[in-house]
Structure 1
Amino acid sequence: MTHTALSAPAAELHRPYEGLPPTATADFNRDGFVHLSGVLSPETLAAHEPTITSEVIRLNTQDTPLTERDTYGKAFLQVCNLWRQNEKVRELVFSQRLAKIASELLGVHAVRLYHDQALYKEPSGGITPWHADQYYWPLSSDRCVTAWIPLQETPLAMGPLAFARGSHQFSYGRDLPISDESEARLKETLAAQHFEDVIEPFALGDVSFHRGWTFHHAGPNRGTEPRRVMTVIYMDADARVAEPTNDNQVADRGWMPGTAIGQVPDTPLNPVLHDSGWPA
């Protein structure tokens, strides 16, 4: 039997990340997010960005001119579950390196995939309004985390993701979808409650991880190139499907096909991506 050697980028995606600070899990629990440096090498990003970008272009269904869209439509082009379309994208989404970080930050023995999502903010694209992702997720647990993976250096002018530090413990606004209303109400209330708005540039290779209830937003893209970002959403492997509390959660049950309320979504679309009990 012959074994094909993994390319350097593919091998990196399955090696543990050595840069996780000793305080990372505690920081994540306190702040609701963590911004890590050097998670992926420039070579790994260069090996995957062209494929992800070409798939976004191929699969994007948004054809309304930017100036004629609503606030949500101006925020980004959004394409989900790209891993099912392309083996190169699957290589990144199924990365043991990323999934292990997610598992350690959440303090769970294993994480499974909820879904992936490409978020491309076009040049002159607008703000991403304040919101919390977990509003959309019909899950019994808040042990969920999104990895936000910029595919290029992302200075402030391109609209990097920004977080309200500690806001995952603030229950106000959890009934708000991404909208002009969420932007207005959360911007005012989070400021009034003195939550720090952490806005930082992302160097090439930086990746952030944020909890499902962490309120976050992004500025407009004032650059001349798209802000190209891939995201992967992980959930505690033992989490169960919950009764939806809004229409968006009803729709989101489609990411876990065939799973009844109260069941673990052990489906082909929701594989376990890291388990601390697996052999090394």
Structure 2
Amino acid sequence: MTTPTQTSADELGTPYGGLTPTATADLNRDGFVHLSGVLSPETIARYEPTITSEVIRLNTQHLPLAERDTYGKAFLQVSNLWRENERVKELVFSPRLAAIAARLLGVHAVRLYHDQALYKEPSGGITPWHADQYYWPLSSDRTITLWLPLQETGSDLGPLAFARGSHHFSSGRDLPISDESERVIEQAVAEQDFEDVVEPFALGDASFHHGWTFHHAGPNRGAVPRRVMTVIYMDADIRVTEPTNAHQVNDRAWMPGTGIGQVPDTPLNPVLFDGRSS
């Protein structure tokens, strides 16, 4: 008899059958995709308690919500949990998830940039409009982020929302997550008539978004934390470039020892899927 643990672990290593033939084109057109049934509820149930306990253990934000700035109210953020816990590593290193990322990007292989747990507390504030790629000193936009809620996520919990097609729009790319990015990008989204796509996530759903796609999230009006695990993937052949802002200088720490112009082939950035060897 197969145990639930074996079933969950096996699912992480088996292909996802939900991608349509147009999935890559859909990502290129819209800047994001929302996929159903990426993981089963049983698999989520195996990993959520461990991720949550690690977030509680490693969280360094202890100010009351009322005393934090906009960024601090948006979520509790803990990165590279895979280095702290072997069970979390199983999820982050999942061939199933990495293969989806490679297929959507249209590349033969992807490597890990880093993971992030993003927990929006009850009464937590908005996540301001922004684009992730602003933070990354990388040579191309062949990057993609998995956003995996660890509970059913209705509009009350603040699901991630996307400006459809905004990855083709360059204005606002020079802004970090802030009150300014919220104001400037919200105005640009309205002026450019980008659709603000806000959808609930069923348990097991996940989204993948392009590095330059503008996105945001509403506040958590629910009574429980909005628990989310993210994994950032990059083209396995991508290279490190000269940083263009202070955040990119800091982000070079995710790729230790990698020089400008080099592929970040480090122990922290393993190749998680390579279609040429599968």
Pairwise TM-score range, normalised by the shorter structure = over 0.9
2:77 is the alignment partner of 1:78: yes
Aligned length: 275
* Offset at residue 209 of structure 1 (A): 0.1
Q: d(CA) in 1 for partners of 2:236 and 2:22? A: 24
Per the alignment, residue 21 of structure 1 pairs with 20
Structure 1 portions without partners, runs of 5+:
none
* Structure 1 length-normalised TM: 0.97
In structure 2, what is the equivalent of residue 141 of structure 1? 140
Match of 2:154 in 1: 155
Deviation track 1:110-149 (CA, whole Å, cap 9, x = no partner) reads: 0000000000000000000000000000000100000000
1:91 is matched with: 90
**Distance of 2:274 and 2:22 partners within structure 1:** 21
Structure 1 segment 182-221 matched on structure 2, within 5 A: 182-221=181-220
Instruction: Report what 2:114 is aligned to.
Output: 115
Structure 1 match to 2:270: 271
Tell me which amino acid in the other structure corresponds to 1:211. H
- Cα distance change of structure 1 residues 52 and 6 upon mapping to structure 2, 3 Å threshold: closer
- Structure 1 residue 24, shift from structure 2 partner: 1.0
Matches of 2:20 and 2:69 in 1, distance apart? Answer: 40
CA shift digits 1:230-256 (9 cap, x unpaired): 000000000000100000000000000
The separation in 1 between residues aligned to 2:38 and 2:159, in whole angstroms, is 17
Alignment pair present for 1:171 and 2:170? yes
> What is the rounded CA distance, in whole Å, between the counterparts of 1:121 and 1:260 in structure 2?
35
Q: Give the whole-Å Cα distance in 2 for the aligned partners of 1:250 and 1:67.
A: 30
Letter in 1 for 2:35: L
TM-score normalized by the length of structure 2: 0.98
CA-CA distance at 1:6 after TM superposition? 7.1
8 Å CA contact retained: 2:144, 2:211:
yes
2:56 is the counterpart of 1:57: yes
Do residues 68 (structure 1) and 67 (structure 2) align? yes
Query: Which letter does structure 2 place at the counterpart of 1:145?
Result: I
Please list the CA deviations of residues 174-216 of structure 1 after superposition, one character each: whole Å capped at 9, or x if unmatched: 0000000000010011111100000000000000000000000
Cα-Cα RMSD: 0.9
Structure 2: gaps spanning 5 or more residues:
none
How many percent of aligned residue pairs carry the same amino acid? 78
